Amino acid sequence: MGATIRDVAERAKVSISTVSRVLNDTCNVKADKRDRVLDAAAALGYTPNPAAQSLHSRKTGAIGILLPYVSGEFYAELLNGIDSAAQEGGRLLLISTSHNSEEELEAAMKGMYRRVDGMLVMAPVTTSEAVLRRAPRDLPVVFLNTRSEGGGIPLLTFDNYGGMRAMTEHLIQRGHKDIGFITGPADAFDAQERFRGYREALHASGIPLREDLIANGEYTQRAGHDAARYLIGLAQRPSAIMTSNDDAAIGALSAIREAELSVPGEIALTGFDDIPSAMFTVPPLSTVHVPARELGRRSVEILEMAIDNGIDVALEETGDFLPVELRLRASS
């Protein structure tokens, strides 16, 4: 098997997107980096796919970003990662939102077509295959945190299931058995995976699932507040509450305080995402750290490969999950 673009990047000690930019001459790259890339490519005998290059000879210098929403700290972190990688490549960003509507998603993709060289799409309430059926065939698309029905699609996500299962196991190890759970949006892929992690951790520990301890919620502080009020009001209230994201946890923390209960003394509390403000709540929030910035940066690198070297190259470089980590703080 011949050398890959990743081999060149590793030898030259630069990013994969930098290799793509040098070999395709798409923008200015510092002379020392350019020389290292060219030397590494020559030493390894690497050459870009000419057929793939010809498909993308008319470039706009922009990439499209299509997210469900852009409000909140998680999306800010993700966009910071995307923006820093795009700036390194000299690319502009066009950003739009779908509000988890397939019609809005399709309209945004059509609106960006011919204005961007490729798109990053996060669509948690549908599948990558369904999105591609609506997308122009010659538009490179890389997916983030989206369900896929099979393989063969550039897709980056993180371990929603494993992260929530590990956090549930942490609470069980602390002696909690009555653990309330505030769900995310019912039709969202990531929320479903987080609930699955909670449910299967209970099952593995022999703890029955109490349906009354499951409160429907969304990824908002208001939803977390209202769901926590319900859980606190139960005759047999939970000794711990898990939320599907940190915004919901912040809302839940407010409801617990209103009830004049202490955290973690009377109710332990956990979140998911590790947004920057999670460490500044009182008490600091135990949560699952999601590498949002790294997700953004890595997705741009893969999209650059899809634009400059063909989708097959991008597929070779796509991993299934980015790792997550527990950040255990005073709230649990």
Domain definitions of the chain by residue range: 5-48, 60-158+292-324, 160-289
160-289 fold: Rossmann fold (3.40.50)
Cα distance between residue 278 and residue 261, in whole Å? 19
pTM above 0.85, yes or no: no
Under-70 pLDDT residues of the chain = 1-2, 25-28, 47-58, 310-320
pLDDT at 153: 81
Q: Do the Cβ atoms of 290 and 272 come closer than 8 Å? A: yes
Looking at domain 60-158+292-324, its CATH superfamily turns out to be: Response regulator (3.40.50.2300)
Alpha helices in the chain (DSSP H): 5-12, 16-24, 31-44, 50-55, 73-88, 102-112, 128-134, 160-173, 189-204, 221-232, 246-258, 292-309, 311-317
Q: Thinking of the domain 5-48, which architecture would CATH place it in?
A: Orthogonal Bundle (1.10)
pLDDT of residue 51: 47
- pLDDT value at residue 54: 46
The whole-number pLDDT of residue 192 equals 96
CA distance 124 to 199: 20
The answer to whether 5-48 and 160-289 have equal CATH topology is no
